[in-house]
Amino acid sequence: MPTFPAFLLSRDEDKNQHLEWTEVDEAEFMEGDVTVAVSHSTINYKDALALTGSSPVVRRWPMIPGIDFAGTVVESTHAGTAVGDAVVLNGWGVGETHLGGYAARARVPGDWLVPLPAAFSAEQAMAIGTAGYTAMLCVLALERHGVTPDDGPVLVTGASGGVGSIAVALLACLGHQVIASTGRTEEADYLTGLGAAEVIDRDELSGPAKPLAKERWGAAVDCVGSHTLANVLAGTRYGGTVAACGLAQGMDLPSSVAPFILRGVTLAGVDSVMAPRAARLEAWERLARDLDPAHLAAVTTVRPLADAPALAPDLLAGKVRGRVVFEVA
């Protein structure tokens, strides 16, 4: 059988994790009816957890990591996908339970793929990646709950990261006044360049929260969780909505029911991994329409895939700005 180069995660008898760049036999492919020649991938928070072994993200061994990829179909028996199609994949357990995108080839079920929007190159699609696609799902969640620019500022936590950066850019392009919260206040110019009207230090939100605080924003996109999300809820205006999509500070939520029963605040959970195809197509259609290419370029750095292991610890430490695209081929 033919082989292809890939990063491969494995564990020894003592469950110590090992990562190597190696040749993988196509006989190792998992179930799927479409084979893609991968040209680009990216690194998300979950990828960094997998690469470092900091959290039990990987649940099948050995595993090719990488929860995102873009490329061209080279084999297909899927009715809706043809050889030569440009496609994108986000989530579906790829890089966790199904061999992922840090490889020159990937085989997946065709239903997991979405067409690459004509507005984007494969590189731009991975500059968006799961982070940007999740940011768009958060914006759509706010819109479904009736949030408009007239409702007041929208707070974005973790604003210098991948999800946060694109959320800031999207919300600003849609006419919202954006408050960007970041632990790297030296990135204020970067965030105002994406459209943020105000930048605040994350320390304002990272400590224990009161049940209610001064009403400061009409809505929010939270990428952080834990005490930060509790403070976000406490500071949300009457009838506002908070879209929660991340857990960088923690999975706990040390809050109270006060924001919900005294101010009518809505907490909208956003999952990108198993989102249905219709939601994915809507998100990518809106990204093509609403994301300023100049802002996308401003948040993007392009690196070779070989840099992924070294970047992972920095991303977990909050030292990586915006989005990193990996050139695979």
Residue 165 has pLDDT above 70, yes or no: yes
Residue 139 has pLDDT above 80, yes or no: yes
Whether residues 91 and 175 share a domain: the answer is no
> Is 285 inside a domain boundary?
no
CA distance 111 to 123: 22
Work out the average pLDDT over 3-7: 97
| Domain CATH for 21 | 3.90.180.10
19-34 confidence digits (pLDDT tens): 999 999 999 999 999 9
Cα-to-chain-centroid distance, residue 100: 16
CA distance 186 to 184: 5
> Is 195 inside a domain boundary?
yes
Q: How many domains does the chain have?
A: 2
Whether residues 206 and 138 share a domain: the answer is yes
Instruction: Match 């179909």 to its residue by tokens.
Output: 73
Nearest to 329 by CA among 49, 99, 105: 105
pLDDT given for residue 318 in this prediction: 86
Nearest to 81 by CA among 33, 120, 31, 133: 33
Whether residues 136 and 251 share a domain: the answer is yes
Report percent pLDDT > 70 for the chain. Answer: 100
Range of the domain at 318: 3-116+299-327
243-266 confidence digits (pLDDT tens): 999 999 999 999 999 999 999 999
- Cα dist. 9→50, 96, 232, 314, 315 in Å? 9, 11, 37, 19, 19
Whether residues 108 and 233 share a domain: the answer is no
- Coil, strand, or helix at residue 318? coil
pLDDT given for residue 58 in this prediction: 96
CA distance 192 to 211: 31
Residue 130 has pLDDT above 80, yes or no: yes
Whether residues 150 and 243 share a domain: the answer is yes
CA distance 304 to 323: 14
pLDDT given for residue 293 in this prediction: 94
- Cα dist. 225→14, 60, 114, 249 in Å? 33, 27, 29, 6
289-305 confidence digits (pLDDT tens): 999 999 999 999 999 99
> Is 293 inside a domain boundary?
no
Is 226 in contact with 246 (CB distance < 8 Å)?
no
Q: Crossing angle, helix 277-290 and helix 162-173, to 10 degrees?
A: 60
Q: Is the dihedral of CA 256, 258, 260, 263 positive or negative?
A: negative
Whether residues 264 and 137 share a domain: the answer is yes
Whether residues 9 and 110 share a domain: the answer is yes
Whether residues 134 and 234 share a domain: the answer is yes
> Is 281 inside a domain boundary?
no
pLDDT given for residue 1 in this prediction: 67
175-200 confidence digits (pLDDT tens): 999 999 999 989 999 999 999 999 99
200-227 confidence digits (pLDDT tens): 999 999 999 999 999 999 999 999 999 9
Helix (H) or strand (E) holding 300: strand 300-304
How many Cα atoms occupy the beta-carbon half-sphere of 137 within 13 Å? 28
CA distance 160 to 189: 11
Q: How large is the greatest C-alpha to C-alpha distance in the chain, in angstroms?
A: 64
Whether residues 165 and 246 share a domain: the answer is yes
Token duo for residue 170? 């999207």
| Domain CATH for 191 | 3.40.50.720
Token duo for residue 136? 């768009």
Nearest to 62 by CA among 106, 96, 27: 96
CA distance 49 to 55: 6
Q: Indicate the residue type of 142.
A: L
Q: Where is the domain boundary, 222, 248, 269?
A: 269
CA distance 191 to 328: 29
> Is 173 inside a domain boundary?
yes
Q: Where is the domain boundary, 221, 250, 269?
A: 269
CA distance 301 to 306: 14
Nearest to 325 by CA among 107, 120, 70, 74: 70
Nearest to 300 by CA among 279, 272, 320: 320
pLDDT given for residue 329 in this prediction: 77
Whether residues 321 and 207 share a domain: the answer is no
Mean pLDDT value across the chain: 96
CA distance 42 to 101: 9
